[in-house]
Amino acid sequence: MADLFEEYTLKNGVTLRNRVVMAPMTNYSGNDDGTVTDAEVAYYDRRSKGVGMIVTACTHVLENGKGFPRQFAGYDDKFIPSLKRVADAIHAGGAKAVLQIFHGGRRSIPEEVPNGEIVSASDVAFPDNATPRPMTTEEVKEAIKAYGETTRRAIEAGYDGVEIHGANTYLLQQFFSAYTNKRTDEYGGVIENRMRFPLEVLREVKQVAKKHAKEAFIIGYRFSPEEPEENGITMDDTIQLVDALAAEGLDYLHVSHMEFFTKPHRFTGDTEKTRVQLLIETINGRTALIGVGSIYSFDDAVKALESGVDLVALGRELLIEPDWVQKAQENPSSIRTEMDMSMQKELAIPNPMWEALKRPNWIPGMKA
């Protein structure tokens, strides 16, 4: 049985010191000009000393893709020094640094994008947000190039890789989903067309990495397996996407869901198997799979790894317990699995993020 704390070598030859990954989490703590703050740098530094790899909060590849207030940006070369500060902080603790790149699409913030105009695959609004304008085919091509350009900036800033954010209902998922994609051009309609944008982004990122990276560069892709809407993504759809992504030769796939052992809600195959089991079968060893979802204790993580995933990601638990890996190796019973509200400073959680975490039933032990 694989050990959480043994080294793991990705397909491209990059070796992680262990199989524990810090999942990407939005922290709302950047400067208004799109650069990182000292508090953000300290937040990553605090969590870099145990895990094998850290995936950062998402950074937008185009100015009109900003999805969160005070999000650090990556759409222009002027942000390279800012991006480097985060990479350096992660490297200081010995972890690999992966920049998550995205576009908010219909979830972008009208007040914080040029001319207040948000774009998406089609004019399907996100609840309580403005109606987006459908992107032209030319704009789709420009966005593909923008993912590549932000990848180049990540390379120049010293990152070990990028994670393409195709999950959590942002732009790439908006194109993949029949619920949000009503297009009639080459990027809409049948599932092969709806997969086209994510696959072309991946190919562009691969091409840029091959051209600009002097050493092996990690390329991952994160996806959400299902959507609740009637015409939304089903597990059948995701199996097709994952199969296509795995065939492209990337270094890992990263599922995004709240509970690790969730079974599919809509699937024509074996519904007794968990989503993770189905994904492992589909990938069939072609690339690594990162599993995630409500993993708090050492036993939770061991059980997750025993499912057959290659890497285990911790998100909320690393907010509660930045020293999770060290404690898991030395004394697993000492791991905190509920937030201590008196420890914000010790946990190096920036004030805006701390306030944002106070939503009901999100972080165990967190109180308003």
* Closest by CA position to 280, among listed 237, 315, 232, 243: 243
Give Cα 137 to chain centroid, integer Å. Answer: 26
Instruction: Give the length of the chain.
Output: 368
Q: If you average pLDDT over every residue of the chain, what do you get?
A: 97
Share of the chain above pLDDT 90, in %: 99
What are the C-alpha distances in Å from 331 to residues 243, 296, 305, 325, 365? 39, 15, 19, 10, 21
Structural domains of the chain sorted by starting position, each given as residue range(s) with its CATH number in brackets: 8-356 (3.20.20.70)
- Residue 169: phi and psi, rounded to 5, are 65, 25
Enumerate the active-site residues: 170
Whether the pLDDT of residue 1 is over 80: the answer is: no
**Structure tokens given for 148:** 């590549």
Least confident piece of the model among 50-54, 241-245, 360-364: 360-364
Give per-residue pLDDT as tens, 80-126: 999 999 999 999 999 999 999 999 999 999 999 999 999 999 999 99
108, 221, 296, 20: CA torsion to nearest 10? -140
Of 107, 223, 120, whose CA–CA distance to 167 is shortest?
Answer: 223
Contact 66, 96 (CB under 8 A): no
pLDDT tens figures, 152-161: 999 999 999 9
When pLDDT is averaged across residues 349-364 and rounded to a whole number, the result is: 95
Write out the DSSP string of 23-56: PP-----S-TTSPPPHHHHHHHHHTTTT-SEEEE
CA dist., res. 41 & res. 27, Å (int):
11
Mean per-residue pLDDT for 268-272?
94
- What does the pLDDT average to over 184-191? 98
Rounded CA-CA distance 58/53 in Å is: 15
**Is a pLDDT exceeding 80 seen at residue 277?**
yes
pLDDT, residue 2, reads: 66
The model's confidence at residue 368, banded by pLDDT at 50, 70 and 90, is confident
Whether 322 has a pLDDT exceeding 60, the answer reads yes
Answer yes or no: is pLDDT of 250 > 80.
yes
| Beta carbons within 8 Å of 156's beta carbon, 6+ residues apart | 80, 212
